[in-house]
Amino acid sequence: MNIRTTFAALIAGASFSLAPVASGAADFINVLTGGTSGVYYPMGVALSKIFTTALPDAKVQVQSTKASVENLNLLQQGKGEIGFSLGDSVKLAAEGDADAGFPAPLDKLRGIAAIYPNYIQIVASKESGITTLADLKGKSVSVGAPKSGTELNARAILEAAGMSYDDLGKVEYLPFAESVELMKNRQLDATLQSAGLGVASLKDLSTSIPITVVSVPADVVEKLGAPYVAGEIPAGTYEGQAETVPTVAVINYLVSSTAVSDDIAYAMTKAIFENLDELKAAHAAAGAIDVQKALLGMPIPVHPGAQKYYDEVGVKAQ
C-alpha cells in the first residue's frame, strides 16, 4: 500500500466555513503541537484560529512541546484538549510501552482524526559520504528529541535494517532545528526527521549545504509493518534533491481525551473538516487530509463527539 494512494488529495468540494458553533463560557482548548520548526506547530496555530472562530466562547491557546509522546502524556493528565501524534506513538501509548515513554497504558486517550502522513526523512551532508542506511554505521546522527515520536521511528527503522544505536558513531537526541544547526557547522553527519514533506528545518538545511536524501528500501518497510507504509519524497522537495527517494511513512493523528466533552469534540472535529483550506495554507502537508480517511487505522477509541460528526457525514471506520 503506497501512501500516495492511501491518502487522497483534499476532499473535493470541502466547504470553507467559519460559522460559530455553540460553546460553553468556561471552555478552554489547549492545542498541543511540537517544536516550532516542525509541521505540528504551524498547523496547530491554524487550528487555534479555526477553533477561536468556531467556538467564540472558548479560550484557545497553542503549546509548543516535544511532540507525540509528550502530547499523549499531557492529554492523559488533562493538560490539553487536542494534540498531534504519530500513529505508532498512539498505539504504544494505549498499550503502555515503558521503553517508548508510557509506563502504564494511557486509557483516557480518544481519537479525533487521522490527518496526514509523516515521512521519515533521513538527510545527510554530502561530504559525509552517506548514501544508504548502512552508511550510517560509524557516523554521527541526530535521531530526534529523547523518546519523541521521531526517535521511536528511528529505533524502529534501524532495527528493521538490522542495526541499532550501537552501530552509530555518535547519537544526538536533538529537535529538528538544533540538528540542522549542527550539520551546518559540520558537527553532525546526518539527521532523521519524521515530518510532513517540505519541513522547514530540512528546507533550511538544503539551502545551506549540499545534502543527500537517504532512501528507506522496500524490504525495510515490509519488516516494519503497520502502522508504517511505503512512501516517497518527490524530486525537488529539497534543494539539490534531483530524484524521487523511496522512504517510509506513518499516519499522524489528532487525539483528545475523555476529559473533553462530546459537544467540544464534535465542534472541533466539524471545524477542522469545514476549514481544510485554512490548514492547507498553514502547511502543504495538510493537502493530504481527507475526511473519508479520518478513521483510517485509528489505534484508540474514537471520541464520541467526533464519532457524531462522522456519522453525520457518512464516514466509516477503516
Residue partners of 309: CB distance under 8 A and separation at least 6: 266, 269, 270, 273
* Whole-number pLDDT of residue 37: 79
Q: Three-class SS of residue 6?
A: helix
* Whole-number pLDDT of residue 241: 96
Give this prediction's pTM.
0.75
Q: Are 179 and 121 in contact (CB under 8 A)?
A: no
Position of cell 522537495?
Answer: 237
- What CATH number labels 3-115+251-313? 3.40.190.10
Domain boundaries of the chain, sorted by first residue = 3-115+251-313, 118-250
- Asked, colleague to colleague, whether 3-115+251-313 and 118-250 share their fold, the answer is yes
118-250 placed in CATH 3.40.190.10: yes
In order along its 318 residues, the chain shows pLDDT tens digits of 444 444 433 333 333 333 444 434 348 999 999 988 788 999 999 999 999 999 999 999 999 998 999 999 999 999 999 999 999 999 999 999 998 899 999 999 999 999 998 899 999 999 999 999 999 999 999 999 887 889 989 999 999 999 999 999 999 999 899 999 999 999 999 999 998 888 989 999 999 999 999 999 999 999 998 778 899 999 999 999 999 999 999 999 999 999 999 999 999 999 999 999 999 999 988 999 999 999 998 999 999 999 999 999 999 987
- The CA–CA distances, whole Å, from 241 to 140, 151, 202, 261, 317 equal 22, 24, 11, 46, 37
